[in-house]
Amino acid sequence: MQDRPVDIYALRALLALAIGGLSIVGVGIARTEALPETYHLPPPPPPQYDLTISDDGQAFEFSGRVDFGLTEALRGLVASNPKIKRITLESKGGYIAEARGVVTVLRSNEIATHVHGYCASACALICAGGAMRSLSSEGQIGFHRYALGHGQNFGMIDPEVEMQRDLAIYRAQSVDEQFVQRLATLPKTPMWYPDHAKLRAVGLVTLP
């Protein structure tokens, strides 16, 4: 029987396919090796506040920024220490949404608030959320109007709407309506610090 002639063109095609396949595998391996390692998000920054229990065990103590995580931290501390019914405040303010969360914890657990030194902006709202509210002789409570900083734009956030939400909290805490309306007309700066007699007269401070 005569041998079948070899088709040189077919051999060339098969060889080209083989080389092409090896090239694809090689590129695939190279790309796999070139892929970056799994990206890990950096850990969140530590909270810019202190939340502890007083040395005598009679009060929670908060100082620093009204920062993310404060509500959950306070909720956990209250759950572990349900007999403590007072919190002291020392803060220049912070995130108003977090302050609202703290108010919810205070009201649901009937916790009183006490301003020892300086409490302004978001901290003032926390103070108002106390079941009873007191102020040391050196204490100051500061108020101002909400506004976005220059060049800031947070989409659906409307400072006026946010302000109205918090004025409703002051009303719910039986603060005088004329005082609440005054808060709505304040400028962003400077901060307003009513004197102690005024704060007591309008019901923001309820204890001597």
Fill in the amino acid letter for 135.
L
Q: What are phi and psi of 10, to 5 degrees?
A: -65, -40
Q: What is the pLDDT of residue 93?
A: 96
**Separation between Cα atoms, residue 37 and residue 18, nearest integer Å:** 32
Q: In the numeric block, which tokens belong to residue 202? A: 């309008």
Greatest Cα pair distance, the chain, in angstroms, is 122
Instruction: Count other Cβ atoms within 10 Å, centred on residue 88.
Output: 20
20 occurs within a structural domain = no
Q: What is the pLDDT of residue 171?
A: 97
25 occurs within a structural domain = no
Q: In the numeric block, which tokens belong to residue 7? A: 């088709």
Q: What percent of the chain has pLDDT over 70?
A: 76
Choose among 148, 143, 158: nearest CA to 190.
143
> What is the extent of the structural domain holding 103?
49-201
161 occurs within a structural domain = yes
Q: In the numeric block, which tokens belong to residue 88? A: 């002291």
128 occurs within a structural domain = yes
Bond prior to 190 in cis (omega within 30° of 0): yes
> Are 99 and 66 spatial neighbours (Cβ–Cβ below 8 Å)?
yes
**Separation between Cα atoms, residue 77 and residue 43, nearest integer Å:** 23
User: Which residue is it, tokens 């609202």?
Assistant: 100
Instruction: Report if pTM > 0.95.
Output: no
207 occurs within a structural domain = no
Q: Strand 112-120 and strand 86-91: pairing?
A: parallel
Q: What is the pLDDT of residue 146?
A: 75
- Total of domains in the chain: 1
Residue segments in the chain with a per-residue pLDDT below the cut of 70: 1-39, 147-157
Q: What are phi and psi of 169, to 5 degrees?
A: -70, -45
* CATH number of domain containing 85: 3.90.226.10
122 occurs within a structural domain = yes
- Length of the chain (residues): 208
87 occurs within a structural domain = yes
Chain mean position to CA 25: 49
Q: What is the pLDDT of residue 194?
A: 98
74 occurs within a structural domain = yes
